[in-house]
Chains A and B, each alone.
Chain A
Amino acid sequence: MTDKAVQFSVNGDPRSIEADTTKTLLQVLRDDLELTGTKDGCSSGDCGACVVLVDGRAENSCMILAPQADGSEISTVEGLAGDGELHPLQKAFAETWAFQCGFCTPGMLMSCFALLETNADPSREDILTAIAGNFCRCTGYQAVVKAVQQAAAEIRGADRA
């Protein structure tokens, strides 16, 4: 085990840490930066609970060693709401019961956020594909589809206004 200086930005803030080279980005976020919104469901890349954005791409943070993230821009669920205002996706998830226990929600939100960045009007199929790696044991994903389409409509409406 050796430590390596790693620099990246998290939700827009520059962070510099000495990370053990065997640590994953997920462990650094949760343990060193105390950003516990991102969850650990399997530590093996199978469940998507740990999805964050790495330079805009939705990635399982348990599958990335911290030094690999050097120089990247990381976004986590904690960065979604701006100025005390929930992001339309967050509002829609709450309103449509797109979660029950909520443990998959941070990762699910980040996958959906990445989708909406490139697709303003996603179909059911588009959404299911975007969340294909996000395991939810409580819902059947239909409520998530509904939430994403509701949020997409709100964002399109706001953009037109």
Chain B
Amino acid sequence: MPTVPETDVVGEWICAPGADEIVTGSARYCPDIKLPGMLTGKLLYSPYARARVKKLDVTKARNLPGVHAVITHTDIPGENSYLYGHPDQPLLVVDEVRFQGDAVAAVAAIDAETADAALQMIEVEYEEFAGQFDPHLVMQPGAEQVLPVEENDLLFQTYKNGDVDAAIASADVVVKNTYRTQWAEHAFLETEGGVALVDQAGLLTVYSSCQAPHRDRMQIARALALPESSVRVITPYIGGAFGGKDEAHVQMHVALLAQATGLPVSLIRDRRESILTHVKRHPVLVECVTGATKDGQLVAVKARVIGDAGPYSNATHEVLNKLGEFIGGPYTVQNVEVQKIGVRTNNPITGAFRGFGAPQAAFVYECQMDDIARKLGMDPLDIRLKNGVDTGTRMYTGVVVREGTGMKASLKKAAEMIDWQQRGRCDRQPDKHLRRGFGMATILKGCGLGRGLGDHASVILEMHRDGSVVLRSAAADMGQGIVTVLAQLAADGLGVELSSVRVIRADTAQSPDAGASCGSRQTMVSGNAVIEAANSIRDTLLTLAAMKTKVSKDELELKGGKLFVNGECHTMTVRDLAERASNWGYPLHAESLVHFDYPTNVPDVTYKYSQEVFQFCTQIAQVLVDIETGQVVVERLVAVHDVGKMINPGGVYGQIEGGVAQGIGYALSEELIVEDGITQNPSLENYIIPMALDLPPIEMAVLENPEPRGAPLGAKGVAEAPIIPTASAIRNAILDATGTPLYQLPMNPERVLKTIS
């Protein structure tokens, strides 16, 4: 008799459900949805960073043959605002445009050419007036307000633990630097879009390229003054997001147009519109003072962060909150003070982007670490190992690290992979104008939304009488692979083959709320919900098996669709058991709602909305700097990540490789150039992202130190960590190569040349 197979579906390299559709071109993304009678929707966006709308007349556009609707703010039946946290961004402006990209009117017409012609015929008279573009100036007392009823500093908070000033005064060595980061663009390959239609029963369906289908539903219902029961949001395949589709974009506009016309409407932004209109990674200015003892023990970190929010709140609170939370790095330092200031300007809007402020924080704390190490003559590896957190460390935020092995383990593993101790022996000056160097950075980043933020997810799992399984989850899969992870956990939990599990992609009419796919949270939250639901169904199957075999449940096991009794394969299968359950009326249907596990039996957690399960990773870069041109080439990049437990290797390695590639772009070339609120490079030609020939070999290793509680099989999220340390690793390598520290991103040739010469 065959015994229980050793390997199972968790941790195996498997194809993603839906991979066949992707490779054959049959996977439907929003722009691929074609419905009978479907109209093309387009939005008219502001060309100015700030202007009064003196006149807005859509009469001529409405009268153009082929135009079915032209709507402005007066045609919105419900609330005229987005709602991420604070409803201060209008869907369609009322009397003033406040950034280049504010939407003014929406059109639906029989085809794209007619819609474009209608946009041309909308008569808008703008009166341009002085915008606010300097975060420092808008903070001055008496500065003119960007929004009439809201303060310019939308966030002004200080967090403090310990006596920071006294610790700095007593420190043997102090480094004080000012860091600047840039606006960065997600550049998901599928631009934002949606398709909406209203059926005869009045149900409004919106296909949405998004990260948060239930939040979309809420916002659509709110804008259209409909009950949420009349709105259905479906995610088709989604062509990338990286945080940029966490906030809604055109979903409400396309729904308004479908409601106004009674016809299906498709509204897809083109690339230029996409770059100009969605949130960017916050540019920040950070002044940071770090103190240490002469043997390299960190004693204090004091930072002041000013983030440029653009005119509206978007995710500024969330991003700057995370930036402040991680400003001390993965270190044991206790005296930390961070002032977080978010200000309104007429620059581009800003919000979520992979890491929620943690990449900006890491650029600060990991550069500070190397500057201190240089002052003390210490090895960058040693100073990090000396200060690193461990399991049980109580951090400055009050959070106790539940499992922290990965911090030092990732440092040691990465150092071993690049042969850190021997780095001095390589050719450090291969040519008279070339300098080679090595730099490291190590980080931690929490998974989940944070304590007190309603961090929960539901799923519905059902087994049919033939043993086939349907999993309904509203966790949006934008490519990161959550559908695969949930299918694996369902198959594993139920003891069936992966091919028996069909996952319904996020659809609010079929699946309960799973929250947004953000903050590296879905593997943990939705993953736990799947395990809980599977356990319930599995228990039913085992109860029936025990009745039939007269063997107690704990001696039975289900795996790969088979029943094992004391390790031996039985003739009865999962399918037989499912049929019995169906015939006799036993439940094979489970809904599970799981909350992210924030422990209550810990010392006071003083940092608000703290994350408490940590991704750890270390990256080391080897670079070659051309001191004549300022060109930096990354020759090797080692990335070591602790993921707790690897459920889906294809997704884990994919996320690491892709995150590092994005990190290299953030470090060296990516920058939205904005002059007086006007973006100068809104195209993939001029916003420079590394392509295939620009990237080094990325050498990856995955560590598995299982998270002890609240994690499915010990698995943590992995999505955000890979982009976080890359820029500082490269910066520290440039420092090692040239002896010159940089404090501003991106480190493009002009900036590098200017700094080193």
Q: Which residues of A contact B (CB under 8 A)?
A: 1, 30, 34-44, 46-47, 49, 76-78, 80-81, 86, 90-91, 93-97, 99-106, 109, 127-129, 131-144
| A103-B29 in contact (CB<8A) | yes
Number of A-B residue pairs, CB cutoff 8 Å, is 164
Q: Which 3 pairs show the lowest CB-CB distances between chains A and B?
A: A37-B25, A101-B479, A103-B239
B23 an interface residue at 8 Å Cβ cutoff? yes
Max chain A C-beta neighbours (<10 A), residue from B19, B34, B191, B478:
B19
| A132-B692 in contact (CB<8A) | yes
| A46-B240 in contact (CB<8A) | no
Residue in A closest to B111 when the chains form the complex, CB atoms: A31
B240 neighbours in A (Cβ, 8 Å): 100-101, 103, 137-138
22 contacts between A and B (CB under 8 A): A36-B28, A42-B684, A43-B271, A44-B271, A46-B683, A78-B24, A100-B654, A101-B478, A101-B479, A102-B22, A103-B188, A103-B240, A105-B22, A106-B25, A127-B692, A129-B692, A132-B692, A137-B187, A137-B189, A138-B479, A139-B654, A139-B657
| A86-B31 in contact (CB<8A) | no
A93 to B20, CA, bound (A): 10
Interface residues in B1-46 (C-beta closer than 8 Å to A):
13, 15-16, 19-20, 22-29, 31-32, 34
B657 neighbours in A (Cβ, 8 Å): 139-140, 142-143
A97 to chain B, nearest CB (A): 3
Interface residues in B226-243 (C-beta closer than 8 Å to A):
237-240, 242
A135 neighbours in B (Cβ, 8 Å): 187, 189, 684, 689, 691
B323 to chain A, nearest CB (A): 23
Residue in A closest to B657 when the chains form the complex, CB atoms: A140
| Residue from B34, B189, B698 within 8 A of A41 (CB atoms) | B189
Interface residues in B417-447 (C-beta closer than 8 Å to A):
none
B479 neighbours in A (Cβ, 8 Å): 99-103, 138
B209 to chain A, nearest CB (A): 10
A138 to B187, CA, bound (A): 10
| A36-B25 in contact (CB<8A) | yes
B190 an interface residue at 8 Å Cβ cutoff? yes
Binds A, one of B402-410, B464-472, B527-535, B658-666: B658-666
| Residue from A100, A106, A132 within 8 A of B481 (CB atoms) | A100
A60 to chain B, nearest CB (A): 12
Q: A46-B685, A47-B189, A137-B189 are in contact. Are A94 and B271 (CB under 8 A)?
A: no
A73 to B698, CA, bound (A): 38
A94 to B186, CA, bound (A): 24
| B695-A140 in contact (CB<8A) | yes
| A101-B654 in contact (CB<8A) | no
A91 to B22, CA, bound (A): 11
| A138-B24 in contact (CB<8A) | no
B609 an interface residue at 8 Å Cβ cutoff? no
Residue in B closest to A104 when the chains form the complex, CB atoms: B189
A106 to B23, CA, bound (A): 7
Q: Which residues of B contact A (CB under 8 A)?
A: 13, 15-16, 19-20, 22-29, 31-32, 34, 113, 186-191, 237-240, 242, 270-271, 478-481, 650-651, 653-655, 657-658, 660-662, 683-685, 689, 691-693, 695, 697-698
| Residue from B32, B271, B693 within 8 A of A128 (CB atoms) | B693
A104 to B691, CA, bound (A): 13
B29 neighbours in A (Cβ, 8 Å): 39, 103
| A103-B189 in contact (CB<8A) | yes
B692 neighbours in A (Cβ, 8 Å): 127-129, 131-132, 134, 136, 141, 144
B16 neighbours in A (Cβ, 8 Å): 94, 97
B384 to chain A, nearest CB (A): 25
A139 neighbours in B (Cβ, 8 Å): 654, 657-658, 661
Q: A97-B16, A140-B657 are in contact. Are A42 and B271 (CB under 8 A)?
A: yes
A144 neighbours in B (Cβ, 8 Å): 692
A49 to B25, CA, bound (A): 12
A80 to chain B, nearest CB (A): 7
Q: A141-B692, A142-B697 are in contact. Are A37 and B24 (CB under 8 A)?
A: yes
Q: A101-B188, A137-B189, A139-B658 are in contact. Are A42 and B24 (CB under 8 A)?
A: no
B693 neighbours in A (Cβ, 8 Å): 128-129, 132
A36 neighbours in B (Cβ, 8 Å): 25, 28, 31-32, 34
Q: A137-B189, A140-B661 are in contact. Are A76 and B25 (CB under 8 A)?
A: yes
B226 to chain A, nearest CB (A): 30
Residue in B closest to A38 when the chains form the complex, CB atoms: B25
B694 to chain A, nearest CB (A): 9
B668 to chain A, nearest CB (A): 14
Residue in B closest to A111 when the chains form the complex, CB atoms: B692
Max chain B C-beta neighbours (<10 A), residue from A77, A102, A144:
A102
Residue in B closest to A41 when the chains form the complex, CB atoms: B189
| Residue from B20, B186, B658 within 8 A of A100 (CB atoms) | B658
Residue in A closest to B271 when the chains form the complex, CB atoms: A42
A140 to B700, CA, bound (A): 12
Q: A101-B478, A106-B25 are in contact. Are A138 and B658 (CB under 8 A)?
A: yes
Q: A34-B34, A140-B698 are in contact. Are A94 and B683 (CB under 8 A)?
A: no
Q: A137-B242, A141-B695 are in contact. Are A102 and B654 (CB under 8 A)?
A: no
A115 to chain B, nearest CB (A): 12
| B23-A90 in contact (CB<8A) | yes
A100 to B239, CA, bound (A): 9
A44 to B270, CA, bound (A): 10
A77 neighbours in B (Cβ, 8 Å): 23-25
| B239-A97 in contact (CB<8A) | no
Residue in B closest to A107 when the chains form the complex, CB atoms: B189
A105 to B479, CA, bound (A): 12
B270 neighbours in A (Cβ, 8 Å): 43
B702 to chain A, nearest CB (A): 14
A40 neighbours in B (Cβ, 8 Å): 31
A42 to chain B, nearest CB (A): 4
Q: A43-B270, A102-B27 are in contact. Are A140 and B660 (CB under 8 A)?
A: yes
B689 neighbours in A (Cβ, 8 Å): 135, 137
A33 to chain B, nearest CB (A): 12
| A47-B660 in contact (CB<8A) | no
A37 to B689, CA, bound (A): 24
A78 to B27, CA, bound (A): 11
A148 to B240, CA, bound (A): 22
A52 to chain B, nearest CB (A): 11
| B695-A39 in contact (CB<8A) | no
| B19-A94 in contact (CB<8A) | yes
| A132-B691 in contact (CB<8A) | yes
| A138-B654 in contact (CB<8A) | yes
B691 to chain A, nearest CB (A): 6
A43 neighbours in B (Cβ, 8 Å): 270-271
A139 to chain B, nearest CB (A): 5
A41 to B270, CA, bound (A): 8
Q: Kindly list 17 other residue pairs between chains A and B, CB separation below 8 angstroms, not including A42-B271, A129-B693, A135-B684.
A: A36-B28, A39-B29, A41-B190, A44-B683, A94-B23, A95-B15, A99-B22, A100-B651, A101-B478, A102-B27, A102-B479, A103-B237, A105-B22, A137-B689, A139-B657, A140-B695, A143-B653
